[in-house]
Chains A and B, each alone.
Chain A
Amino acid sequence: MTKSELIQRLAERNPHLYQRDVERIVSTVFDEIAAALSRGDRVELRGFGAFSVKRRGARMGRNPRTGASVQVGEKHIPFFKTGKELRERLNERP
């Protein structure tokens, strides 16, 4: 399912809403999550999961082709941990 298919499905289930509004709702949800992570905040959605940002410290890396050492700067990576209820839902039917 892609974002546009998600919008399509939500629009079908909510015929009283304009398609344009459904698009804005879906975009707002993901934009807010992205904005929170960009502030370094955590996003906790009980039953669904939690998004957080993990810091990876600077390190010396190596170019695997040449073997030359290169400095790799600190970086931040987004991380998602599945919520308990969703994890169980994934395993309901074998």
Chain B
Amino acid sequence: MAGQTVTRAQLSEAVYQEVGLSRNESAQLVETVLNEIAEALARGEMVKVSSFGSFAVRKKGRRIGRNPKTGKEVPINPRRVLVFRASHVLKDQINGALSKADSGTGAA
């Protein structure tokens, strides 16, 4: 099985097949969907997609990190990070599909 990479192109193609708008407009709409999500997150809003998962913004405080190469201490400034929590529906879907196939995935 797998180890392939899906990109915007395939998502646009799916929208094109599914909705019947032009290829060009389908591609633009995929972009708009992603952008709308990104904007909400940039405002600090949580984005919940039922049966898929939720994206939340978490604030991290200032801490002292270390350059692993030189061992030198460097301050890490407060920042906002994004965390994704998959819904149970998504987890079950993936496990249902992949436990039947053999092991090994294209995961990082």
A contact residues vs B (CB 8 Å cutoff): 1-3, 6, 9-10, 13-14, 17, 21, 24-26, 28-34, 36-46, 48-49, 52-55, 73-82, 86-87, 89-92
Chain B interface (Cβ < 8 Å from any Cβ of A): 1-8, 10-11, 14-15, 18-19, 21, 26, 29-30, 32-34, 36-38, 40-42, 45-50, 52-53, 55, 57, 79-82, 84, 86, 90-91, 93-99, 101, 103-108
Are the C-beta atoms of B5 and A89 separated by less than 8 Å? no
- CB-based nearest B residue for A27: B18
Question: Once the chains bind, are B36 and A10 in contact (CB under 8 Å)?
Answer: yes
Q: How far is the CA of A17 from the CA of B34 in the complex (A)?
A: 18
In the bound complex, residues from chain B placing their C-beta under 8 Å from that of A91 are: 79-80
Closest beta carbon of chain B to A75's beta carbon, Å? 6
Bound Cα distance A3, B102 (Å): 33
Q: Is the Cβ of A24 less than 8 Å from the Cβ of B48? A: no
Inside 8 A of B26's CB, which chain A residues have their CB?
25
Please state if B18 and A45 are interface contacts (CB–CB under 8 Å).
no
Q: Which residues of A contact B18 (CB under 8 A)?
A: 24-25, 28
Beta-carbon contact of B19 and A25 below 8 Å: yes
Given A3-B48, A40-B2, A76-B99, are A87 and B107 neighbors across the interface (CB < 8 Å)?
Answer: no
Nearest residue, chain A, Cβ from B38: A86
Given contacts A32-B14, A90-B41, contact A77 B29 (CB under 8 A): no
